Each structure stands twice: as C-alpha cells, then as structure tokens.
Chain A
Amino acid sequence: MYTFSNKLKTFSFILMILGALGVGYGFMTSHKSFEEVEHLLAEESHHGGGHGEAAAHHAAPSHDTHAVAEGHHAEEAHTEVDAHSKHVTHVQHQIANRPWSALYVAAFFFMMIALGVLAFYAIQIASQAGWSPVLFRVMEGISAYLLPGALIVLAIAVASGTIGHYNLFVWMDPDVVAHDKLIQGKAGWLNIGWFAVRGLVFIAGWAAYRHFARKFSIAQDSADDISNFKKSFRIAAAFLVFFIYSESIMSWDWVMSVDPHWFSTLFGWYVFASMFVSGITVIALMAIYLKSRGYLPFVNENHIHDVAKFMFGISIFWTYLWFSQFMLIWYSNIPEEVTYFITRINDYNLPFFGMVVMNFVFPLLILMNANYKRIPWFVVMAGIVILAGHYLDIFNMIMPATVGDRWFIGIPEISSILLFAGLFIFVVFTALTKAPLLAKGYPLMKESEDFHY
C-alpha cells in the first residue's frame, strides 16, 4: 500500500495556494479601463520593442500618421477615431482574456494527461500487453484526475461564456455571432447549451470507463476466476471506440473552436498525439518517482525502457501530425486556412518553433540510444522537456486566438500551472493510496513481473 507522505501533501497544498493567489492576481490586474489601455498603447508606441512594436504597427497607421496627414477631412478623421477606439477595445479585450486563457491552458494540459493515460491503459488491456500490468495501478491513479480535471475544463469553458465576457470562445458572444455569417453557419453546432451537453456526455463516458475499469481491476485482486479480467477487456475495447470519437469531437469543441473561422481535419489526431505522449511521460515519471521511494520493487529498468520507447515513438508521431497539418496548409497557402499559422509564426515564433525542438529534436536525440532509455535520470530529463513542450503546444493552440500578440508566460500562466499541478498531485497520490500498487490478480501479471527486454 502506498502512503501519501505528508511532505508531498504539504507540497501539493503549497502549489495550490500559490497558484490560486497568482490566478487571483491575474484576474485582478487584467481588468483595464479604456483609458488605461489607451495610455498603455501610447506608451508602447513610444518605447517600441517587444510586443509594443507589433502593437505600434497596428496603432500608428490608423491613428497618428493618417490623422496628421488627412486630419482636416472631418469624415476621415471620424473613421480614424473609430478605428482607434476599436483597436483599444480589441487590446482591452485581449488583456482581459489572458488570465482566463492561462487558466484554461493549464486546466486542459493536466486533464489531457489523465485522459492520455486512460487511453493508454485501455490499449494495454485491450491488447493484453504482457509488460505493462505492473504499472496498471500507477495508470489508474493518474486517471483518477480525469473526472475532476475534465469537469474543471468544461466549467472554465462554459463560465467564460456565462459569467465571463466571452474570454475564450468568441462564438459564445451573441454580439459577435450577429455580425458573423461564418459563425452563424456553425451555430447549430457551436452554441453553449449543446457544447455543454456534448462535454458532459464525453466526461460521463470517460469517467464511467475509468470507474468500471478500476472496479474490475480491484475486484480481480481477490477473485478466484478471471471473470473481472474478461469484463475489463470488453469494456476497454468498447471504450477505445467511444474514446476516439469523443476525443476527436472534444478537440474540435474545447480547442479548435477558439478559432471558429478555422478548421483542420486531422486536428483530433493531433491533440490526441499530444495528450498520449504527455500521459505516457507522466506514467514514466510517476513510476520512476515511486520506484525511487521503494514502492514499486517489481518495476525494473526493462519496464522503464518500454515506457521510454513509447515516449520516443509517440513524440515522433506527434511531430508527424504537427508537420502534416502545418505543411499541407503552408503548401497550399489558402487564405482561409493559413491565417492560423501566420498569426502563430508572426506573434508566437519562439514558442511555436521552440515546441518542435522540445517535442521532437530533444527526445529524438536523447531517447534514441537503447541504454539511455534505461537510465532514470535521462528519462526524467527527457520527460520534463516533453511535458514543457506539450504545455507550449496547448499554449500555442489557445493563446493566439484569445490574447493574440499580448501573450507572455508570466504570473497568470505559471500560477495556473502551479494550481493545477498541485491539484493533480493531490488527486493522483490520494488515489494511489486507495489500493495496493500491484494488481495481483491480473492474469498477465507474472509475465509482467518477469518482463525482461
């Protein structure tokens, strides 16, 4: 049995409290009045540099130059003032969106780890893998975060459209929809009610699978026959079918719809690859941590090697999908589609290409060698970079649509990560204490314990 050490528990509470304070600070400081934003923009166009430069490009032609040159045309001047106030409102809205988006990105990131682990777990059971059963309880522990985590994501999404000012999804804003033919055409799918219902159906499906898989797994520990194993196998197969549909639709809803004018057909797979590799990485990190504390004596370096192989392989799979999506759109350069990448390359150059280095080049070089995959600190190092890279991946999906060029990884973002990291640690390690760390009754357990590569 695992006991949740007081030190770790305190640590998770500290993370949550620090995170909550920072998130609160983010919300407190993001409500800027029209005048404040106007002042800010004027200051930025004076100083230049950084984001100010980009903002100045927007501001200067519409405001200063034109107004001076053609100032005596009253009507022209009027439209200039109009454009100016439009610009300021736009920036004001972006600034207000930042803490919402930071919270949403972090919430989604930790939710997708749990969901990725659940999918991995179901695959291991459905494929009757012989190496992984020693890690089943670790996977079950991590997937315990899925239900609260997914509900939080959905709650933030819905709250941004009900109590917030449409800070994440513009299609939730009736004012925007009224002037937007494209979104009107999608309103049959993109409306808050149907969005929330879909989300709840998906969460219910995932949580139900997780609940029963866990129940059968624990029942199998003390069973005389393998009926629980058989049930577990059947629901795993059924869940995987449900999962691939629900995950796809979830990724359109929760991620792609922040840019309601844009669509991509392989987006569901792309998000899946990201969650899958993050989930596998967390399994590796948790296994190494628990083993170092002496809780997993039956896990040996061969198991770590196999998990690291998955980290390596799925990192490349993620890159394949990332590149397929990017290259197809870059190559054909159709204006409707390509704006998605233009904003990312112009405003998010470093995070956009930096994540490719972190998610592809780094694991490719570090985890290629078979011996390195057996050394815990190598796997931990690669794992941390992969997780940071996939946080950036989600960041790059959400932020350009909500805060545009007003992004920064500062207090709101880091605090949101701390908040959900604390919650994740608390939920996962609490779940680990609920059952023995070795699923004794599983028919393939002996094979897994003797697993040797």
Chain B
Amino acid sequence: MEASKVIHAIYTDDDVLMSAVKKVKAERYHIEEIYTPFPVHGLDRAMELAPTRIAIAAFIYGLIGLTVATLMMNFIMIEDWPQNIGGKPSFSYLENMPAFVPIMFELTVFFSAHLMVITFYLRSKMWPFKKAENPDPRTTDDHFLMEIAVNGNASELENLLQGTGAVEINLVDKAH
C-alpha cells in the first residue's frame, strides 16, 4: 500500500521552510506534519491549521473554579455553620463577600491554569514515559522536517521539494 509511504524533506533554515510550506500548499499537497526545534512564527497560518480553542476552554475552566469557590464558601461559612468570627457578617454570602474574593480569585486562576495545562497535555498526547515520536533526532537541534504523504506521486513530489531548497529528501516507509 502506497499510503503508508511518506516523504521527509529536511531544511536547515526556518525562512526556507516557510517558503517551502507555501509552495507545497500552493501545489495542493497535504502536509502531514512539520517537526521544528523551536516555534516558527506564522507556520501554523502557512499550514492553514485551525486556530486553537484552548483559550475558550480556559475561560470555561475559570468559570468552573469561580463556581466551586462560591458554592464551597457559601456552604461552609454561611449555610453550614454561620459563626460570628470577629464580627464579620455571616448572614448572607453577599454581605461577607469581600472576605471571600481573594479565594474566589485564586481558585478561578487555579482551575483555569491547571485544567488548561492538562487539556493541552491530553490534546497533544503528552505524558511521562511516552515514546517520543521523533522521525529524526536532528529536528530537535537545528533541522526542520516536513512530512508529506505519498500517493503514487513520489517522483513529482521529490522534484517539487528539491526546488524548495530541501537539503535532504527521504522516501520513508511508515510501518504501522
């Protein structure tokens, strides 16, 4: 089956990589993945990746944190045992709210930050002891790698990539 074959085009410069991505996109090839040692500004836009929605998730997590803080303190301080502590009014949540704001704020930030990070790990499939998915160790140092699926057009693709300034083009069997 041809579909399990991919081409790895390796670049040594992020500017060259960017123009290569634009060229490959213009020729309507599908880029499977790009491996870079550092974030390349504008690469996601050039690859036409959908924008991330993690900020929306973080906002929702923040709201959850705020709710947790409010319900918790309302139950503990107002409903369960409305004790008079130093004359602070514990008749209703609103009356004593200024004292609760620091906790409400912190829990909002706590939930928002931690759940967002965990979401990020889950979505990008990262965890301890995970096997690194690195096609070429040089991509963590100073090389950039573009991976394109081959569908019986290996030679035209290789020609195209040659023209984009790739320093190395490998046809790889991706065994699953």
Residues of A within 8 A of B (CB): 323, 326-327, 330-331, 333, 368, 370
Residues in B with CB closer than 8 Å to A327 are 98-99, 101
Of the residues B59, B98, B101, contact of A368 by C-beta under 8 Å: B59
Also in contact, A323 and B99, with CB within 8 A (given A333-B87, A368-B59): no
- 8 Å CB interface, B61-99 against A: 87, 98-99
* Shortest distance between the CB of A68 and any CB in chain B (Å): 36
> How far is B52's CA from A370's CA once the two chains are assembled, in angstroms?
12
Residues in A with CB closer than 8 Å to B99 are 327, 331
Residue pairs across A and B with Cβ atoms less than 8 A apart, 10 shown, are A323-B98, A323-B101, A327-B98, A327-B99, A327-B101, A330-B98, A331-B98, A333-B87, A368-B59, A370-B55
> How far is B55's CA from A370's CA once the two chains are assembled, in angstroms?
10
> How far is B43's CA from A375's CA once the two chains are assembled, in angstroms?
25
Residues in B with CB closer than 8 Å to A326 are 98
- 8 Å CB interface, B105-149 against A: none
* Shortest distance between the CB of A447 and any CB in chain B (Å): 15
Residues in B with CB closer than 8 Å to A368 are 59
Closest B residue to A328 by CB, please name it: B98
> How far is B99's CA from A323's CA once the two chains are assembled, in angstroms?
11
Residues of B within 8 A of A (CB): 55, 59, 87, 98-99, 101
Residues in B with CB closer than 8 Å to A330 are 98
The 7 A-B pairs at the shortest CB distance, nearest first, are namely: A327-B98, A330-B98, A331-B99, A323-B101, A327-B101, A331-B98, A326-B98
> How far is B87's CA from A327's CA once the two chains are assembled, in angstroms?
15
* Shortest distance between the CB of A390 and any CB in chain B (Å): 21
Which of B59, B87, B98, B101 has the largest count of A CB atoms less than 10 A from its CB?
A: B98
* Shortest distance between the CB of B95 and any CB in chain A (Å): 11
> How far is B87's CA from A326's CA once the two chains are assembled, in angstroms?
17
> How far is B37's CA from A189's CA once the two chains are assembled, in angstroms?
63
* Shortest distance between the CB of A143 and any CB in chain B (Å): 35
> How far is B88's CA from A331's CA once the two chains are assembled, in angstroms?
8
> How far is B87's CA from A323's CA once the two chains are assembled, in angstroms?
20
> How far is B98's CA from A326's CA once the two chains are assembled, in angstroms?
8
Residues in B with CB closer than 8 Å to A370 are 55
Closest A residue to B41 by CB, please name it: A452
Closest B residue to A369 by CB, please name it: B55
> How far is B55's CA from A402's CA once the two chains are assembled, in angstroms?
46
> How far is B59's CA from A333's CA once the two chains are assembled, in angstroms?
35
Closest A residue to B87 by CB, please name it: A333
Residues in A with CB closer than 8 Å to B87 are 333
Please name 7 further chain A to chain B contacts, defined as beta carbons within 8 Å, in addition to the given A327-B101, A330-B98, A331-B98, sorted by A numbering.
A323-B98, A326-B98, A327-B99, A331-B99, A333-B87, A368-B59, A370-B55
Closest A residue to B98 by CB, please name it: A327
* Shortest distance between the CB of B168 and any CB in chain A (Å): 32
Residues in A with CB closer than 8 Å to B101 are 323, 327
Residues in A with CB closer than 8 Å to B55 are 370
* Shortest distance between the CB of A330 and any CB in chain B (Å): 5
Closest A residue to B59 by CB, please name it: A368
* Shortest distance between the CB of A372 and any CB in chain B (Å): 12
* Shortest distance between the CB of A324 and any CB in chain B (Å): 10
> How far is B98's CA from A213's CA once the two chains are assembled, in angstroms?
43
> How far is B89's CA from A333's CA once the two chains are assembled, in angstroms?
12
* Shortest distance between the CB of A281 and any CB in chain B (Å): 23
Residues in B with CB closer than 8 Å to A331 are 98-99
> How far is B87's CA from A331's CA once the two chains are assembled, in angstroms?
10
Closest B residue to A323 by CB, please name it: B101
Residues in B with CB closer than 8 Å to A333 are 87
Closest B residue to A333 by CB, please name it: B87
Residues in A with CB closer than 8 Å to B59 are 368
* Shortest distance between the CB of B97 and any CB in chain A (Å): 10
> How far is B21's CA from A69's CA once the two chains are assembled, in angstroms?
94
* Shortest distance between the CB of B152 and any CB in chain A (Å): 40
> How far is B99's CA from A370's CA once the two chains are assembled, in angstroms?
32
> How far is B3's CA from A288's CA once the two chains are assembled, in angstroms?
52
Residues in A with CB closer than 8 Å to B98 are 323, 326-327, 330-331
* Shortest distance between the CB of A328 and any CB in chain B (Å): 9
Closest B residue to A320 by CB, please name it: B105
> How far is B97's CA from A327's CA once the two chains are assembled, in angstroms?
10
> How far is B81's CA from A200's CA once the two chains are assembled, in angstroms?
57
> How far is B59's CA from A327's CA once the two chains are assembled, in angstroms?
26
* Shortest distance between the CB of A356 and any CB in chain B (Å): 12
> How far is B87's CA from A48's CA once the two chains are assembled, in angstroms?
33
* Shortest distance between the CB of A210 and any CB in chain B (Å): 37
Residues in B with CB closer than 8 Å to A323 are 98, 101
* Shortest distance between the CB of A209 and any CB in chain B (Å): 37
